[in-house]
């Protein structure tokens, strides 16, 4: 009898466990993330795929869903009458390890982001927060000896030549990094009160705090042995987060698993128990898996399927995005330093053909800043800027041929010699059917209109990012989505030294216009400077705008209440699976 009772107990336990596991799996979202993110450390991340994951695992002061800004870790906030002090009152909340999250965690995280020793690709964005001391911190420079005024010399590759005169002090202020960080206008008044001082008011400041760079990270996790360079965020044994989900497994090149965070402050409104995310960057493969029922959500579809899906599928979604798809010239290479040549190549591209082929709601670009930003008078910034003589169809071909001949003369070559000079140069893009299609169409336009034959090369996403950042390219695909609702969020990436300035465009007058736009409280003057900067950028053409982004995705009809940021990140915080 005891033996029989034991069998019943064991059987009950097994069935109970199976039932629990079944319940979790039935409430598991299967999501193709796309490419394997380079990092999912909020401070270090600079790509949309990483941002999508971070949006599930971390939460900032606020959370923006479908253009509405909701309280996040901040329960409320107050802005002073002069607009220069923002005080956030934090709710009581915990990290995923059960320890309290405090205002000091934000102070640590933000100073880490702007600290030049962190070398975050997104440190530049602090200039546009207007936080006191942040500008001086991100531009902290030490190449001279403050006592002797002797300065370092570098060769063309940036390598030090001769004596190192750096003295761990900023060449202008004489402050160490830590002394400069101490002057930053971010302060924990107490555990639940965060005070932020601004040089000038920034109307978009609170909404900007939803962006992943400003999300809190826990110092002990960041500094854990084995977690260097952001690796802590991919290691389930080290990661600590504060969002609706927590990472429990990560396999490079394959995928990850997230599970509901029981320590999340609003866990009662998180309905999905787990998320299985795959790293499949081929749209055709992911689309086939979606149709086979293996995925509930995919972030892209094959371009050739878009027209039919738009017409026939209730599971297909297309949203406009405040961002631009473009090609960067490597201005460090002599062949691309002629402005007439760059403009000739830009005019030779038929953008209407490209967007028609993509058929995903993209808009042919006439400038770098997309439609959707309003100026101080409520007018659309891109529309007011004009088209800069850019035809979206074939109307620019004749001018392209004329400019190409003029460029050849300026470069001391015949037209035939310039064609030969450019033949074999490479258009670099990351692996994707859509990127390949665009590259092939640009390649063909340049061949047909100008007689120039460039070759194509694709690389996997992580490799491509490293190659482009190192400047090892001729012409490279680029894409940028704004991080805040101001044209500066687009234009700023082409300032000298910006981590996303892929062409390595350097122009002091352009830098000054962007800086002056941020240093004024006069919004009319702010936009006057931005219009001038936009004009300068389009005149110099360090990149070729191709189209303004749209965001296409597919979600099963039983996936309810998922959301997305107006800037493009998907959000499963309140999503439900009603299979």
Q: Confirm if 307 and 316 have CB atoms less than 8 A apart.
A: no
Half-sphere exposure of 536 (CA within 13 A, CB side): 20
Mean predicted confidence (pLDDT) in 221-244 = 97
Strand 85-90 versus strand 274-278 pairing type: unpaired
Residues 55-109: tens digit of each pLDDT: 999 999 999 998 889 999 999 999 999 999 999 999 999 999 999 999 999 999 9
Say yes or no to pLDDT of 10 above 70.
no
Average pLDDT estimate for 481-493 = 91
Assess whether pLDDT exceeds 70 at residue 8.
Answer: no
32 - beta bridge partners? 278
Q: Check residue 38 and give its pLDDT.
A: 94
List the beta strands (DSSP E) in 281-315. 297-298
pLDDT bin (cut points 50, 70, 90) of residue 12 is very low
What does the mean pLDDT of the chain come to? 93
pLDDT in tens, 326-370: 999 999 999 999 999 999 999 999 999 999 998 888 999 999 999
| pLDDT value of position 3 | 39
pLDDT over 50 at 9, yes or no: no
Write the CB contacts of 26 (distance below 8 Å, at least 6 apart in sequence): 577, 579
Q: Residue range 482-491: average pLDDT?
A: 90
Burial of 288 (0-12, 13-18, 19+ CB in 10 A): middle
Distance in angstroms (rounded) separating the CA atoms of residues 13 and 17: 6
Tokens for 247?
């990472």
pLDDT band at 125 (very low <50, low <70, confident <90, very high): very high
State pLDDT tens for residues 193-203.
999 999 988 88
pLDDT tens for 176-187 read 999 999 999 999
Tell me what pLDDT residue 236 has: 98
Identify the structural domains of the chain with CATH numbers, from first to last: 59-221 (3.90.76.10), 320-551 (3.10.105.10)
pLDDT reading at 569 higher than 50: yes
Averaged over 120-137, what is the pLDDT? 94
pLDDT of residue 273: 98
Residue 275 DSSP SS3: strand
What was the pLDDT predicted at 161? 92
pLDDT at 6: 41
Which has more confidence, 307 or 222? Answer: 222
Q: Name which residue leads in pLDDT, 296 or 521.
A: 296
pLDDT of residue 307: 87
H helix runs in 145-225, sequence order: 177-181, 205-208, 219-222
Residue 393 has pLDDT above 70, yes or no: yes
Q: How far apart are the first and last CA of the chain?
A: 43
How many residues are present in the chain?
579
Return the closest-CA partner of residue 328 out of 273, 368, 289: 368
- Whether the pLDDT of residue 18 is over 50: the answer is no
DSSP string, 329-390: E-TTSGGG--HHHHHHHHHT--HHHHHHHH-SS-EE-SSSSPTT-B-TTS-BHHHHH--TT-
pLDDT tops 80 at residue 163: yes
Supply the pLDDT for residue 483: 83
Q: Is the pLDDT of residue 19 over 80?
A: no
Mean pLDDT of 266-281: 97
Instruction: Give dist(CA 394, CA 384) in Å, integer.
Output: 23
| Residue 23: per-residue pLDDT | 62
**What mean pLDDT do residues 520-539 have?**
94
Per-residue pLDDT tens over the stretch 364-388: 999 999 998 889 998 999 999 999 9
Give the 3-state secondary structure percentages of the chain, helix then strand then coil, rounded to 5. Answer: 35, 20, 40
More confident of the two residues 58 and 394: 58
Long-range contacts of the stretch 236-239 (C-beta < 8 A, 24+): 239/57, 239/96
508 by Cβ neighbours in 10 Å (0-12 / 13-18 / 19+) ranks as exposed
Question: Coil, strand, or helix at residue 261?
Answer: coil
């Amino acid at each position: 009898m005891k033996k029989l009772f034991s069998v019943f107990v064991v059987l009950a336990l097994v069935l109970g466990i199976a039932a629990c596991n079944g319940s979790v799996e039935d409430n598991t979202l299967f999501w193709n993330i796309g490419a394997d993110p380079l990092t999912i450390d909020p401070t270090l991340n600079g790509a949309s795929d990483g941002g999508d994951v971070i949006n599930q695992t971390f939460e900032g002061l606020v959370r923006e869903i479908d253009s509405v800004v909701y309280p996040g870790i901040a329960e409320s906030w107050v802005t002073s009458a002069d607009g220069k002090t923002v005080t956030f009152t934090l709710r009581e909340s915990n990290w995923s390890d059960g320890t309290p999250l405090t205002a000091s965690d934000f102070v640590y995280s933000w100073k880490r982001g702007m600290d030049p020793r962190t070398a975050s690709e997104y440190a530049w964005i602090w200039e546009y927060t207007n936080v006191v001391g942040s500008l001086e911190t991100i531009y902290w420079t030490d190449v001279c000896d403050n006592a002797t005024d002797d300065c370092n010399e570098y060769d063309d590759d940036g390598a030090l030549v001769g004596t190192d005169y750096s003295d761990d002090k900023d060449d202008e202020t004489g402050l160490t990094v830590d002394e400069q960080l101490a002057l930053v206008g971010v302060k924990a008044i107490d555990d639940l009160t965060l005070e932020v001082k601004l040089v000038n008011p920034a109307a978009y400041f609170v909404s900007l705090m939803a962006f992943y760079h400003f999300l809190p990270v826990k110092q002990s996790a960041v500094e854990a042995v084995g977690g260097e360079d952001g690796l802590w965020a991919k290691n389930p044994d080290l990661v600590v987060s504060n969002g609706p989900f927590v990472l429990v497994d990560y396999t490079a090149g394959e995928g990850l698993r997230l599970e509901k965070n029981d320590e999340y402050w609003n866990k009662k409104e998180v309905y999905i128990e787990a998320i299985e995310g795959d790293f499949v960057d081929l749209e055709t493969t992911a689309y086939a898996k979606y149709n086979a029922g293996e995925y509930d959500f995919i972030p892209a579809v094959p371009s050739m399927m878009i027209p039919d899906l738009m017409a026939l599928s209730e599971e297909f979604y297309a949203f406009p995005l405040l961002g631009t798809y473009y090609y960067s010239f490597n201005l460090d290479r002599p062949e691309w330093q002629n402005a007439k040549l760059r403009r000739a190549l830009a005019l030779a591209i038929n953008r209407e053909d490209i967007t028609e082929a993509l058929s995903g709601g993209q808009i042919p670009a006439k400038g770098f800043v997309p439609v959707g930003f309003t100026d101080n008078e409520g007018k659309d910034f891109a529309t007011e800027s004009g088209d800069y003589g850019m035809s979206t169809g074939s109307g620019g071909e004749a001018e392209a041929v004329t400019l190409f001949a003029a460029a050849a003369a300026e470069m001391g070559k015949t037209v035939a010699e310039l064609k030969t000079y450019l033949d074999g140069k490479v258009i670099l893009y990351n692996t994707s059917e859509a990127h390949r299609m665009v590259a092939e169409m640009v390649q063909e336009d340049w061949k047909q209109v100008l007689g120039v034959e460039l070759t194509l090369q694709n690389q996997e996403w992580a490799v491509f990012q490293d190659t482009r950042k190192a400047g090892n390219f001729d012409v490279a695909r680029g894409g940028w989505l704004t991080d805040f609702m101001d044209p500066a969020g687009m234009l700023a990436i082409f300032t000298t030294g910006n981590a996303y300035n892929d062409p390595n465009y350097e122009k002091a007058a352009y830098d000054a216009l962007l800086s002056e736009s941020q240093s004024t409280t006069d919004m009319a003057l702010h936009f006057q400077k931005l219009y001038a900067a936009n004009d300068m950028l389009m005149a110099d053409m360090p990149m070729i705008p191709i189209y303004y982004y749209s965001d296409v995705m597919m979600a099963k009809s039983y996936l309810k209440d998922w959301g997305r940021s107006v800037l493009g990140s998907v959000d499963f915080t309140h999503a439900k699976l009603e299979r």
